[in-house]
């Protein structure tokens, strides 16, 4: 069922032997992480404060001593070139200087007041300048921002249905944690989701990415409040939009009165202002989290003047009481200070030029090796991030990604790299370059990649 010819995949026994060696090597090299994992297990489920932290391919999780720029040091004293960057939260590097300074300045002057400050108006002006939308609201996480946008979208359109793409991830948002049955096309619950009591097929429709016919059909009855999408799928393999897809998709949304919501939490890597600004497309709602305030918990959503009026109208018409939108610590003083510093110093052409430059070198180096070894694999790129895919062509949708998936090979690459001082994102084969990523970091990754190919006999 795979696109890749088996001749160019490593022998299963070689892969299994290498896995054993690498796991032993990890344990030998990380006595302190192993000891902390055992100790932490007494009080943390799975020995970690967030259970995902066990999803790395190593026998125990690496415990971090400190992280700075594009590097991270573990408690065993090993230094890593970090291409995971907190799964994008640290896209601008770990603890960027302007963020550290802004936090130090704000920390003694109030952390959270549930009131705006003298910086609020200034930050609003900067947001409009950088991201091109005039109105804004804040949240603490991208999951929350998406949840809140969905509430607004349903409230202002008076429609119940949500449309997402197969393979989407928009955080811990129940409505979006669904899959598409490949045979019937029906929405089905995502089997990994715990504690779900509702099957969101009642109100969520799922279609393949890059499929305008499916989009037209899903919108045709005029009942869909919003299409919530990443401009390129990034969480299920990197899947870029086909040329012209978004222009046509936006026109379809407009024709059917469906709001277009772009979640740019990951595609912020495209360029200053994300995919939207880079490609000159203005969605109805624009969402970002994670890296938006330099890695300090903060998320936001922007919208246009007409949408703002519709939002104000539904809020004013509702009875007094809970709106179901917002959390107490949203827009707290510390997050706002970090956001302002990020807008001034991180969301800039200079920063993105450094990220893109490092990504250029990495992409070229990987492609050179795929050519030299005649490997039918692909490097798919989106600004500062890229993904090595074990398939000859860039996937067009989640179905292509599923067909090309090779979890054992992916795990092997991750652990081999980790054991040699290079961190890749555990949940997918993403490599992200920060402004602090330099040619030495890229060279290190490429050298280890050579060693991995040799170890697999490829």
Applying CB under 6 A, the residues found at the interface with ligand PMP are: 87, 141-143, 169-171, 230, 235, 263, 265-266, 289-290
Task: Supply the minimum distance, in Å, between the C-beta of residue 72 and ligand PMP.
Answer: 19
Closest CA to 365 of 433, 420, 266, 276: 433
Cα–Cα distance for residue pair 120/378, rounded to 1 Å: 45
Of 258 and 265, nearer to ligand PMP (C-beta) is: 265
Q: Which is nearer to ligand PMP, 334 or 446 (CB)?
A: 334
Element (H, E) at 430: strand 430-432
Which tokens belong to 300? 């936001």
Please identify, using beta-carbon distances, which residue of 292 and 341 lies nearer to ligand PMP.
292
Task: Kindly give, in sequence order, each residue whose CB lies less than 8 Å from that of residue 447, ignoring residues fewer than 6 positions away.
Answer: none
CB of 51 to ligand PMP, least distance (A): 13
Which residues pair with residue 285 across a beta bridge? Answer: 261, 303
Which single residue brings its beta carbon nearest to ligand PMP? Answer: 171
Beta carbon of residue 193, minimum distance to ligand PMP (angstroms, whole number) = 14
Q: Report in angstroms how near the CB of residue 235 gets to ligand PMP at its nearest.
A: 5
Angle of the 333-345 helix axis to the 97-106 helix axis, nearest 10: 150
Residue 446 Cβ vs ligand PMP, minimum distance, rounded to whole Å? 26
CB of 11 to ligand PMP, least distance (A): 34
- For residue 53, give the nearest of 31, 70, 69, 36 by alpha carbon: 36
CA dist., res. 275 & res. 264, Å (int): 7
N-terminal to C-terminal alpha carbon distance within the chain? 21
Closer of 33 and 265 to ligand PMP (Cβ): 265
* Least separation in angstroms between CB 260 and ligand PMP: 15
Nearest residue (CB) to ligand PMP, 10 versus 273:
273
Reading the block at residue 330, the tokens are: 């949203």
The residue whose two tokens read 């074990």 is 390
Judged by beta carbon, residue 196 or residue 408, the one nearer ligand PMP is 196
Closest to ligand PMP by CB, 169 vs 416, is 169
Residue 428, φ and ψ in degrees, nearest 5: -155, 170
């Amino acid at each position: 069922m795979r696109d890749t010819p088996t001749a160019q995949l490593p022998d299963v026994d070689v892969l299994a032997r290498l896995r054993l060696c690498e796991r032993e090597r990890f344990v030998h090299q990380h006595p302190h992480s192993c000891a902390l994992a055992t100790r932490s297990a007494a009080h943390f489920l799975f020995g970690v404060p967030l259970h995902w932290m066990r999803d790395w391919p190593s026998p125990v999780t690496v415990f971090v001593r400190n992280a700075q720029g594009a590097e991270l040091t573990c408690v065993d004293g090993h230094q890593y070139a970090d291409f995971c960057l907190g799964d994008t939260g640290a896209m601008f590097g770990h603890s960027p200087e302007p963020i550290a300074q802004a936090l130090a300045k704000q920390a003694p002057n109030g952390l959270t007041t549930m009131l705006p400050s003298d910086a609020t108006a200034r930050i609003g002006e900067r947001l409009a300048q950088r991201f091109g939308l005039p109105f804004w609201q804040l949240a603490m996480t991208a999951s929350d921002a998406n949840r809140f946008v969905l509430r607004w979208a349903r409230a202002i359109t008076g429609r119940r249905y949500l449309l997402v793409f197969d393979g989407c991830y928009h955080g811990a948002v129940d409505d979006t944690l669904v899959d598409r049955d490949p045979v019937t096309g029906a929405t089905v619950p995502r089997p990994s989701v715990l504690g779900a009591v509702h099957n969101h097929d009642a109100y969520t429709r799922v279609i393949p990415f890059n499929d305008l016919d499916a989009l037209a059909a899903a919108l045709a009855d005029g009942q869909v409040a919003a299409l919530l999408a990443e401009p390129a799928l990034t969480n299920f393999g990197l899947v870029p939009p086909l040329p012209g897809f978004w222009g046509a998709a936006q026109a379809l949304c407009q024709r059917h009165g469906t709001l277009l919501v772009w979640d740019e939490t990951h595609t912020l890597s495209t360029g200053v202002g994300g995919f939207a600004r880079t490609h000159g497309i203005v969605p109805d709602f624009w969402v970002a989290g994670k890296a938006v305030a330099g890695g300090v918990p903060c998320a936001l959503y922007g919208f246009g003047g007409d949408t703002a009026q519709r939002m104000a109208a539904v809020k004013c018409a509702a009875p007094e009481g809970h709106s179901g939108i917002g959390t107490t610590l949203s827009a707290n003083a510390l997050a706002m200070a970090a956001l302002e510093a990020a807008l001034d110093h991180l969301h800039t052409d200079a920063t993105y030029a450094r990220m893109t430059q490092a990504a250029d070198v990495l992409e070229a180096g990987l492609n050179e090796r795929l050519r030299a070894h005649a490997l039918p694999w692909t490097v798919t790129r989106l600004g500062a991030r890229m993904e090595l895919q074990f398939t000859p062509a860039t996937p067009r949708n989640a179905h292509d990604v599923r067909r090309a998936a090779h979890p054992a090979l992916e795990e092997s690459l991750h652990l081999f790299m980790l054991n040699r001082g290079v961190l890749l994102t555990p949940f997918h084969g993403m490599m992200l370059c920060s402004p602090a990523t330099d040619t030495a970091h890229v060279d290190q990754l490429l050298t280890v990649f050579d060693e991995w190919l040799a170890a697999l006999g490829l």
